[in-house]
């Protein structure tokens, strides 16, 4: 797979992503068991050192996409107001699949390879997301959350070793001062008994470093200094992580123009930052074999009402209304229909019927080729995949008379609101939810919310999304999940009928 | 400029030797000097009243120094937003000025009912339209607090709504004491200016360089640290602090203990009527105790609040937990009736606008005068001069043939010879401290940069 010509040396470029300081001492001789990896002595990483080894362009992209999935999960969970604990669980699950990161105690794992991937993917994304202030801010926020999740789940002794290795140089409160302030320090920690203070050590830092603790009145303040007990060290570490990454991103942004000459990496980076904007979580695996449900041309209108996402519903409605769709719309819809399991024969029947104003001759000449092309039966015979949300959202903006695109992205607020009302009969508060998601550019979340509302009668709760809180990232996934829900319900109904008989049989057995 | 009342354009900011001469032009709104009375001079609907105040009395020079922290105009003044509230409800934002003179000229030209001070931006606010969005961001801003008497309506008994008396002011005194202590001791701020809002509130402006540079997040953290009274009208118990109390809460409680009997029990008589003490009894943690007190209070309808409070404090219980709960409850209630109630939204945002000191309150005509925390107890809001009073004093000065100044920025007569004087002098003294530190800070910076 890795042809010699594609072997790449991307280390020079990744070095650009570092925050400039090349001499930060990481080496720290441990008194405990020697770390498993010489290059990466700690599971946690402040990403101070840019990677210098060679990797392939494929690794460059794959690793970055894997990390992006985690970050996108965090972002969408945050945007849906999940608590930190919930996000921790979601990300923990995802990380196992895409980017496991084990502690030294995991004997059977190649920790060095895992940590290498973690480091490289971080720096690749740094390159991709340093381009605008908005992207930098988003990246900073999700990376800090990811770091916090890892920090909290880290092995305690290893975490200690990691924090010690960073040499933060925090001002430690001396014994005498601690003695003088005993009462206040204990009260700030909500200890009734001063003696419980025991050996707890305190750091003295500017209060602005620990705004979260100040907000909750969890630290003692004096003359602008916060006395942070070592058990609240997390706040300090996070603040430090954030500060350093912030500076690092700015340095990267300044150094970026030098990278623009690299023709191999630039498209990859562009693609990555686009993926982040569309909130892509994972690739839709397109399979031609449906789950037993044979789809025919006649079924499409009913299915559209039941299970199509709004973008496809709008194409269907336009097609019925104007008896025609323009090129981009046809392309988007055709591939989607292919994705739901409409065979090419049925597809031709479907489009032929829909284009009522067009003669057979014209249809065969102008459109049949198009449809067959989408099914990989003409021209280069490429088996095109249905378009993902990312492609639809960031693709060509619909012009006059065009109906493709993402309604949440491309409709005006007034139009969106009225379509939600006329097509879905949405009430005021639901519409408000969706519009507010749209306003903060979380189109996939708006779509997910609509899915939840549309399937509430099948027991889908708010925040559940496409199961386990997943958000919509592909129109076909929307459809598949919807069909699965209907199927589940049908099965439940039939099994309930048979239940009585079963129970009788059980009695006899017992 | 469109949208202005026509009279403004006719008035030019020229120097006039006496008030009488200002009326020479027939186009100008008139206020015949001979007929001038306190009533006509207090009529804020007459544009001439505010115009004269800006021209003669308003201390622009001092305001400039206060915002600029030094004599030479810096970005701290030139990039500062001023928003003008014109009398016809027109609101002009993003004004900025090169210096005090230019500002005075424009204020006199626009003749606003009042004006507000916003943040220092990365570009000149008046150039906002031609600047790139990225080049126009709020950077610096004093940390501000706003305490308004309306937030005390549920606990004050003397006045309601817009009214305010000396007794209400004691709530403000307590709030100022506590806030001042917190900001100085806990956050280490030194330059705190308190400004009477002209009717029933007070503002605080913190001008330490560190306070100016606070981000929105940090401002929010300070507000959360300070805020104790939570819950709206539907929430009876508004203070629910975890125990043991945070050191800052303990200190506040100590300070407030000195005021509680006088202000809450005597002045306001807060537990006199059944509906007043019933809400408190409903919150008592020990139900048996509450029942007993209810019987006692019902039997003695005329008893004073202080007596009732005394009964409430006495609890017969041997159980340590019950006693502790009761003690905590008493502390919470004391805080609920005395702890500062701040308008949190004002303080949280870097780019919030707040009325400038020395403006005239449109409802009362009083000057928004500065004061120090140490004076707040002796401060009498009803003794604050009104614009009408000041203009009459000037008028009498002119009638008696005294020098009435030239109306320039350095012209002191407008305030030196009127009852505005002590307030401007206090302001000057306060600003002097600020400027001195600004000079010291800049010297240190220079020294540091010289080392390299």
Nearest CA in chain A to B243: A190
Cα–Cα–Cα angle for A100, A106, A109, rounded to 5 degrees: 60
- Three-class DSSP category at A424: helix
Instruction: Please write the tens of the pLDDT for every residue from B124-149.
Output: 999 998 988 778 999 999 999 999 98
Q: What is the pLDDT of residues B243-269, one digit of tens each?
A: 899 999 999 999 999 999 988 888 888
Average pLDDT over residues B346-354: 92
pLDDT over 90 at A12, yes or no: no
Contacts of B228 (CB under 8 A, 6+ apart): B239, B241, B249, B335, B339
Give the per-residue pLDDT at B231: 65
Residue A248's alpha-carbon distances to A39, A498, B267, in angstroms, are 21, 64, 59
- A433 and A465 share a domain? yes
Q: What is the ipTM of this complex?
A: 0.86
pLDDT digits (tens, 9 = 90+) for A262-304: 677 777 777 777 766 655 444 444 444 445 567 888 889 999 9
Candidates B185, B189, B246; nearest CB to A187: B246
CB–CB contact B246 A217 (8 Å)? yes
pLDDT per position as a tens digit, B176-219: 999 999 999 999 999 999 999 999 899 999 999 999 999 998 99
Query: For A18-54, b where at least 16 C-beta lie within 10 A, e where not — what string?
Result: bbeeeeeeeeeeeeeeebbbeebbbbbbbbbbbbeee
**pLDDT grade, residue B114 (50/70/90)?**
very high
Q: Out of B134, B224, B244, whose CB is closest to A187?
A: B244
Contact A133 B224 (CB under 8 A): no
CA–CA–CA angle A154, A156, A159 (5° rounding): 65
Does A15 contact B at CB distance below 8 Å? Answer: no
- Candidate from A53-57, B44-48, B260-264, B399-403 with smallest mean pLDDT: B399-403
**Annotated binding residue A130:** no
Instruction: List the single residue in A with minimal CA-CA distance to B214.
Output: A208
Our separate counts of H helices and E strands in chain B read 19, 9
In this structure, are A244 and A207 located in the same domain? no
Spatial separation of the C-alpha atoms in residues A202 and A176, rounded to whole Å = 12
Q: Delineate the domains of chain B, giving CATH numbers in brackets.
A: 6-145+345-442 (3.90.920.10), 233-339 (no CATH)
Higher pLDDT, A473 or B127: B127
Give how many domains chain A has, as a whole number.
Answer: 3
Which value, in Å, is the radius of gyration of the alpha carbons in chain A? 28
Residue A102 is predicted with a pLDDT of: 86
Same domain, A243 and A148: yes
Among A187, A207, A216, whose Cβ lies nearest the Cβ of B247?
A187
Please tell me whether A389 is known to bind a ligand: yes
pLDDT for res A411? 85
In the sheet that B192-196 helps form, which strands lie side by side, from edge to edge?
Answer: B143-148, B201-206, B192-196, B370-371
Confirm or reject contact between A215 and chain B (CB < 8 A): yes
Tell how far CA A395 is from the center of its chain.
Answer: 19
> Rounded to whole angstroms, what are the CA distances from A31 to A159, A414, B237, B271?
14, 65, 54, 66
Q: Do A187 and B188 touch (CB under 8 A)?
A: no
Contact across the interface for B221 and A217, Cβ inside 8 Å: no
Evaluate whether residue A177 is within a structural domain.
yes
A135 and A197 co-located in one domain: no
Mean pLDDT of chain B: 86
Q: What average pLDDT does this structure show over B305-325?
A: 86
Question: Do A232 and A246 fall within a single domain?
Answer: no
B348 in reach of chain A (CB within 8 A): no
Distance from B287 to chain A by nearest Cα, in Å? Answer: 26
Residues of B labelled catalytic: 81, 146, 148
Mean pLDDT is lowest, of A322-331, B268-277, B391-400, for B268-277
Q: Which positions in chain A touch B210 (Cβ < 8 Å)?
A: 224
Cα dihedral value B270, B271, B275, B278, nearest 10: 130
Residue A30: pLDDT over 70: no
For residue A432, what are its two tokens?
């408000």
Mean pLDDT across B80-107 = 94
A253 & A331 share domain: no
What is residue A509's predicted lDDT score, i.e. its pLDDT? 45
Q: Residue A76's pLDDT is what?
A: 78
Cβ–Cβ gap A217/B225 under 8 Å: yes
A409 in a structural domain: yes
How many Å apart are CA A387 and CA A396, to the nearest integer? Answer: 12
In a mutagenesis test of the B interface, which of A134, A196, A212, A214 is the best target, namely the one with the most B β-carbons within 10 Å? A214
Dihedral (C-alpha) A476, A480, A486, A490: value to the nearest 10 degrees? 150
Compute the distance between CA of residue A3 and CA of residue A10 in angstroms, rounded to an integer. Answer: 16
Q: Report which DSSP code applies to A263.
A: T
Q: How far is B233 from chain A (nearest CA, A)?
A: 24
Looking at beta carbons, which residues of chain A come within 8 Å of B188?
A: 222-225
Q: Is A214 on the interface with B (CB under 8 A)?
A: yes
**Residues of chain B found within 8 Å of residue A215, distances taken between Cβ atoms:** 220-221, 224-225
Specify if A392 maps to a domain: yes
Which residues lie below 8 Å from residue A341, measured CB to CB, with a gap of 6+?
Answer: A288, A289, A290, A293, A294, A295
Beta bridge partners, A229, equal A202
Residue B151 has pLDDT above 80, yes or no: yes
Q: What 3-state class would DSSP assign to B176?
A: helix
Q: Is residue A446 situated within a structural domain?
A: yes
The strand ranges marked E within B43-90 are 80-85
* Cβ-contact A448, A466 below 8 angstroms: yes
CA dist., res. B440 & res. B129, Å (int): 36
What's the CA gap between A219 and B146, in Å, rounded? 25
Which DSSP string do the residues of A172-215 spell out, in sequence order? EPPHHHHHHTHHHHHHHTT-S-GGGGTT--EEEEEGGGGHHHHH
Predicted pLDDT of residue B405: 65
Assigned domain for A144 exists: yes
Give pLDDT tens digits for B371-418: 999 999 999 999 999 999 999 998 888 888 766 666 677 777 788 889
Return the axis-axis angle of helices A57-79 and A443-454, rounded to nearest 10°. 60
Does residue A492 belong to any structural domain of this protein?
no
So what's the pLDDT on residue A310? 93
A362 and A259 share a domain? no
The answer to whether residue A194 sits within a structural domain is yes
Q: Estimate to the nearest angstrom the gap between the alpha carbon of B312 and the chain centroid.
A: 36
CB B23 within 8 A of CB B35: no
Whether residues A245 and A328 share a domain: the answer is no
Distance CA A115, CA A109 (A): 11
Q: Does residue A108 sit within a domain?
A: yes
Q: What is the pLDDT of residues A438-458, one digit of tens each?
A: 888 888 889 999 999 999 888
Please check whether residues A13 and A159 belong to one and the same domain: yes
pLDDT digits (tens, 9 = 90+) for A159-174: 888 888 887 778 889 8
**Same structural domain for residues A203 and A342?**
no
pLDDT at A320 over 60: yes
Question: Is residue B202 within 8 Å of residue B179, measured between CB atoms?
Answer: no
pLDDT of A17 over the 60 cut: no
State pLDDT tens for residues A122-176: 998 898 888 788 788 889 999 999 999 999 888 888 888 888 888 777 888 988 9
Task: Give B11's pLDDT tier (boundaries 50, 70, 90).
Answer: very low
By three-state DSSP, how is residue B400 classified?
coil
Domain that residue A120 falls in: 6-21+28-167+239-273
- Which chain A residues have a beta carbon less than 8 Å from that of B248? 217, 221
Write out the two tokens for A197: 């203070």
Listed residue (A465, A455, A444) closest to A485, CA to CA: A455
CATH of the domain at A78: 1.20.930.80
Per-residue model confidence (pLDDT) at position B271 = 85
The answer on A248 and A190 residing in a single domain is no
B232-256 as b/e: b if 16+ CB within 10 A: eeeeeebbebeebbbbbbebbbebb
Same domain assignment for residues A114 and A156:
yes
> What is the pLDDT averaged over residues B49-66?
94
Q: How confident is the model at residue B423 (pLDDT cuts 50, 70, 90)?
A: very high
Do A298 and A290 contact (CB within 8 A), yes or no? no
Cβ-based contacts of B250 with chain A (< 8 Å): 187
């Amino acid at each position: 797979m890795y042809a010699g010509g594609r072997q790449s040396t991307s280390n020079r470029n990744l070095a650009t992503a570092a925050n400039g300081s090349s001499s930060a001492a990481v080496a720290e001789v441990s008194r405990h068991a020697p770390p498993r990896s010489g290059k990466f002595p700690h599971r946690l990483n402040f990403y101070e050192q840019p990677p210098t080894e060679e990797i392939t362009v494929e690794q460059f992209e794959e690793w970055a996409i894997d990390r992006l999935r985690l970050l996108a999960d965090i972002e969408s969970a945050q945007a849906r107001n999940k608590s930190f604990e919930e996000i921790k669980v979601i990300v923990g699950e995802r990380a196992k699949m895409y980017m496991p990161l084990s502690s030294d105690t995991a004997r059977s794992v190649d920790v060095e390879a895992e940590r290498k991937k973690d480091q490289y993917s971080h720096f690749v994304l740094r390159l991709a997301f340093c381009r605008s202030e908005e992207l930098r801010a988003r990246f900073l926020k999700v990376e800090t959350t990811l770091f916090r999740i890892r920090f909290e789940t880290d092995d305690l002794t290893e975490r200690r070793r990691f924090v010690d290795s960073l040499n933060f140089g925090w001002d430690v409160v001396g014994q005498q001062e601690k003695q003088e302030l005993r009462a206040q320090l204990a009260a700030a920690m909500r200890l009734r008994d001063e003696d419980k203070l025991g050996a707890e050590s305190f750091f003295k830092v500017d209060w602005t470093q620990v705004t979260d603790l100040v907000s909750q009145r969890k630290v003692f303040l004096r003359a602008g200094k916060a006395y942070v007990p070592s058990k609240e060290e997390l706040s300090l570490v996070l603040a430090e992580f954030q500060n350093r990454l912030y500076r690092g991103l700015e340095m990267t942004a300044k150094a970026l123009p030098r990278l623009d000459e690299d023709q191999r990496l630039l498209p990859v980076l562009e693609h990555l930052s686009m993926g982040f904007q569309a909130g892509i979580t994972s690739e839709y695996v397109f399979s031609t074999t449906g789950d037993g449900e044979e789809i025919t041309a006649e079924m499409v209108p009913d299915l559209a009402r039941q299970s199509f996402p709004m973008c496809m519903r709008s194409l269907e409605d336009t097609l019925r209304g104007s008896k025609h769709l323009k090129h981009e719309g046809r392309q988007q819809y055709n591939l989607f229909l292919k994705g739901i399991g409409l065979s090419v024969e049925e597809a031709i029947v479907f489009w032929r019927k829909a284009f009522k104003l067009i003669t057979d001759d014209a249809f065969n000449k102008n459109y049949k080729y198009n449809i067959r092309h989408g099914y990989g039966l003409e021209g280069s015979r490429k088996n095109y995949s249905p378009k993902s949300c990312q492609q639809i959202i960031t693709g060509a903006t619909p012009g006059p008379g065009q109906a493709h695109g993402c309604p949440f992205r491309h409709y005006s607020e007034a139009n969106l609101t009225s379509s939600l009302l006329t097509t879905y009969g949405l009430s005021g508060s639901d519409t408000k939810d969706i519009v507010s998601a749209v306003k903060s550019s979380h189109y996939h979340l708006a779509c997910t919310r609509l899915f939840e509302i549309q399937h509430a009668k099948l027991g889908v709760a708010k925040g559940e999304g496409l199961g386990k809180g997943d958000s919509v990232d592909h129109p076909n996934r929307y459809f598949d999940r919807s069909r699965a829900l209907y199927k589940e319900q049908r099965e439940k109904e039939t099994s309930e009928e048979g239940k009585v008989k079963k129970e009788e049989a059980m009695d006899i057995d017992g | 400029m469109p949208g202005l009342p026509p009279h403004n354009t006719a008035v030019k900011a020229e120097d006039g030797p006496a008030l009488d001469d200002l009326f020479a032009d027939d186009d100008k709104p008139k206020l015949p000097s001979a007929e001038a009375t306190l009533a006509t001079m207090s009529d804020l609907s007459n544009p001439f009243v505010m115009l004269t105040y800006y021209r003669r009395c308003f201390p622009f020079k001092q305001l400039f120094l206060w915002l600029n922290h030094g004599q030479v105009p810096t970005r701290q003044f030139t990039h500062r937003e001023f928003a003008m509230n014109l009398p016809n409800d027109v609101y002009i934002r993003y004004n900025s000025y090169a210096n005090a003179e230019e500002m005075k000229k424009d204020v006199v030209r626009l003749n606003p009912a009042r004006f507000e001070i916003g943040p220092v931006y990365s570009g000149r606010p008046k150039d906002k339209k031609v600047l790139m969005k990225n080049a126009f961001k709020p950077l610096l801003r004093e940390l501000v607090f706003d305490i308004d008497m309306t937030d005390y309506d549920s606990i004050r008994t003397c006045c309601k709504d817009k009214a305010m008396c000396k007794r209400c002011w004691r709530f403000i005194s307590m709030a100022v004491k506590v806030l001042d202590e917190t900001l100085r001791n806990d956050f280490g701020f030194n330059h705190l200016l308190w400004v009477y809002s002209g009717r029933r509130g007070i503002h605080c402006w913190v001008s330490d360089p560190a306070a100016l540079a606070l981000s929105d997040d940090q401002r929010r953290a300070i507000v959360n640290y300070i805020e104790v009274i939570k819950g709206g009208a539907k929430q009876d118990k508004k203070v629910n602090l975890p125990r043991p109390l945070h050191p800052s809460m303990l200190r506040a409680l100590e300070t407030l203990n000195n005021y509680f009997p006088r202000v809450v029990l005597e002045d306001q008589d807060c537990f006199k009527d059944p509906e007043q003490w019933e809400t408190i009894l409903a919150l008592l943690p020990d139900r048996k105790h509450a029942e007993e007190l209810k019987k006692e209070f019902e039997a003695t309808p005329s008893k004073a609040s202080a007596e009732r409070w005394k009964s409430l404090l006495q609890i017969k219980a041997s159980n340590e937990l019950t006693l502790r709960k009761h003690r905590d409850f008493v502390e919470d209630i004391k805080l609920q009736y005395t702890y500062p109630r701040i308008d949190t939204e004002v303080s949280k945002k870097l780019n919030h606008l707040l009325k400038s000191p020395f403006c005239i309150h449109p409802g009362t005509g009083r000057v928004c005068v500065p004061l120090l925390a140490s004076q707040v107890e002796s401060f009498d809001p009803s003794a604050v001069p009104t614009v009408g009073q000041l203009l009459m004093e000037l008028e009498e000065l002119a009638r008696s043939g005294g020098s009435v100044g030239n109306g320039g920025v350095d012209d002191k007569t407008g305030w030196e010879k009127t009852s505005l004087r002590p307030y401007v002098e206090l302001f000057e003294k306060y600003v002097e401290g600020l400027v001195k530190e600004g000079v010291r800070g800049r010297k240190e910076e220079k020294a540091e940069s010289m080392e390299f």
